[in-house]
A and B are shown apart, each in its own frame.
Chain A
């Protein structure tokens, strides 16, 4: 069964440092997303990416965040200068073409900013 893979599974970083979270979506999918979930809270939309550009972003996705699909397979989320409140689980998801398709989620990266 196809799956979305994310690396690393857990990242600890110092406040102010840059982090890059990596995702490999399902190969023939067209729509890519990043979500985050702060411990005990809801899954929050960050950004969607389609046709090699950002299609929509939330208020959370400020100038500290960026996304890239550098080589046609990887999909990365960069946080330039991490803050304590960036500590969360970050989930990558992808959706294929067609009406009846679920959003496939990766297993998540737990980011801890200290």
Chain B
């Protein structure tokens, strides 16, 4: 089975940097996704890590350590529109590539 843990809520200030952590336990691992989800909308893709290390994409970076079962999403220069839920999701290494989501971290950006 899989177990994915994230903090439930976080608050950060506009212009600051915030790090959202995710730990996972899985019987087979084939990558970790980060998605952003605004209320009432579908998740939108942010990043995908399958190898250890940091992937940078503009204001967003994602880090993975497979040996520790750990990832984080780093958001820089926070903007008010970054207020959303951030979902960590793990992809199985099995034939059917199932993606399992964590509970999500609700980020509130304040002025």
Contacts and interface: CB of A to CB of B under 8 A. Distances in A.
Interface stretch (A63-71, A74-82, A92-100): A92-100
Interface stretch (B14-22, B72-80, B95-103): B95-103
Interface residues of B, number: 26
Given A91-B42, A105-B42, A107-B42, A50 B101 contact: no
Contact of A33 (B35, B42, B99): B99
Contacts of B97: 31, 48, 95
Interface of A: 31, 33, 35, 41-45, 48, 50, 55-56, 89, 91, 93, 95, 99-108, 110
Given A42-B87, A93-B99, A107-B42, 17 more contacts: A42-B102, A43-B43, A43-B89, A45-B100, A48-B96, A56-B96, A91-B42, A91-B43, A95-B99, A100-B50, A101-B48, A103-B45, A105-B42, A105-B43, A105-B44, A107-B41, A108-B41
